[in-house]
Amino acid sequence: MDNGSIDKILEKYPHDPSSLIQVLLEIQSEHRWLPKQALAKVSERLKVPLNRIQHITTFYKAFSVVPKGRHQIHVCTGTACHVRGARRVLEVVQDVTGLKPGLTDRDFKFSLETVNCVGCCALGPVMVIDGEHHGKLAPAKSKDVLKNYE
């Protein structure tokens, strides 16, 4: 973790608790997770108790307190995607990456998550990689999509 980058992020916001969520989101965006040292620095600078920050970062699924891969894969398993074959797409993604949902590979290349809905049900099944939506996936197509993220 680069303390200089954390300092730069903190300097952009008022030094009070109202900035907490935005600061955490920006740190995570830059580092792909929220290191303990960063949380301690945020706590000190924004005058928010560290245990409160830890509660927030473990409660909201948007935050991660463990390192994530360079490419974050989200496979939608909501109803519309499920009935269109999301389970099979997920199986292919698991086979290709060697990951179960909630895990990151050793090289920090991929992290895999399942989500209940990504908001584009008509395109199901849908996989989102690094914010890019890939819809109407057949299992073989999902394998091809992953090749673009080597």
Domain 71-147 falls in which CATH fold? Glutaredoxin (3.40.30)
CA distance linking residue 1 with residue 36, whole number of Å: 10
- The model's pLDDT over 5-28, given as tens digits with 9 standing for 90+, comes to 888 999 999 888 999 999 999 999
The pLDDT tens digits of the residues spanning 95-104 come to 999 999 999 9
Q: Where in the chain is the domain with CATH 3.40.30.10?
A: 71-147
Give dist(CA 146, CA 75) in Å, integer. 12
CA gap 121, 135 in Å, rounded: 9
Whether 134 contacts 126, CB under 8 Å: yes
The per-residue pLDDT for range 60-86, each reduced to its tens digit, is: 888 999 999 999 999 999 999 999 999
